[in-house]
Amino acid sequence: MALKDSFEKSGNWLFRYRSYVPLIILLTIFPVVRNAPNKQYEGLLTLFSIVLSMAGLVVRAYTIGTTPRGTSGRNTQKQVAETLNTTGIYSIVRHPLYLGNFLMWAGLAVFTFNLGYFVIIILVFWIYYERIMFAEEAFLRRKFGQSFEAWSKNVPAILPDFRLYRPTELPFSIKSVLRREYSGVLALAAVYFAVDYFRIWIKGLPIFEWRISAIVFIAALLTALVLRSLKHYTHWLTEEDRS
């Protein structure tokens, strides 16, 4: 099998199961936290990790809130694209959702206070998502031909070039964000909560105390339950021109 065919095949497989592979990787956080030495700058590292993760959420929210139906979906069986996005955030970076994922992963890696683990996560991210991006772009190249070639020639894959920005005609939709991102926010809050309380447990500190991570997690959980109910039992979050 040619290397490009192997890359595309493995990328499509990873695309199909991309929601599960990160869960396996996240399990490695706990032994890393357990064996990490005490850090002098825990407060600063915690703040930096939160900033990175929040930046990832913002990137994902803006992308989802400004893209039309048929693109940037949560489909898992195969690649889907009814149109080629070339404006808005897609005018400065070809894979903004994966950029958002990377920032969220990077934030969690920083929260372990382990530089080696942070470097490993970056490498794993690149190997993992490089295959998925390759498969997606092979699909887009076959479907959109010269339009894709012209767009991909100038727009970087993962590191944004803000000088290329062209506004989108589609207005930002908060409903799209609420409908599609509550589970991701809940998952992120849950990991921060679990790591935070695991860390104070291994330090021998009292765990039956309210901490910011617990408050944020409970708020995210309640919000997710409300939004899930609205999504499945009402039409309040439904939009005909959005995925």
3-state secondary structure the chain: CCHHHHHHHHHHHHHHCCCCHHHHHHCCHHHHHHHCCCCCCHHHHHHHHHHHHHHHHHHHHHHHHCCCCCCCCCCCCCCCCCCCCCCEHHHCCCCHHHHHHHHHHHHHHHCCCCHHHHHHHHHHHHHHHHHHHHHHHHHHHHHHCHHHHHHHHHCCCCCCCHHHCECCCCCCCHHHHHHHHHHHHHHHHHHHHHHHHHHHHHCCCCCCCCCHHHHHHHHHHHHHHHHHHHHHHCCCCCCCCCC
Parts of the chain with a pLDDT under 50: 73-74, 76-78
Q: Domains in the chain, start-ordered, CATH in brackets?
A: 3-170 (1.20.120)
pLDDT digits (tens, 9 = 90+) for 152-169: 999 999 999 999 999 988
Looking at residue 164, its pLDDT comes to 95
**SS3 sequence, 70-85?**
CCCCCCCCCCCCCCCC
The reported pTM is 0.87
Looking at residue 1, its pLDDT comes to 57
CB atoms within 10 A of CB 156: 14
Looking at residue 3, its pLDDT comes to 57
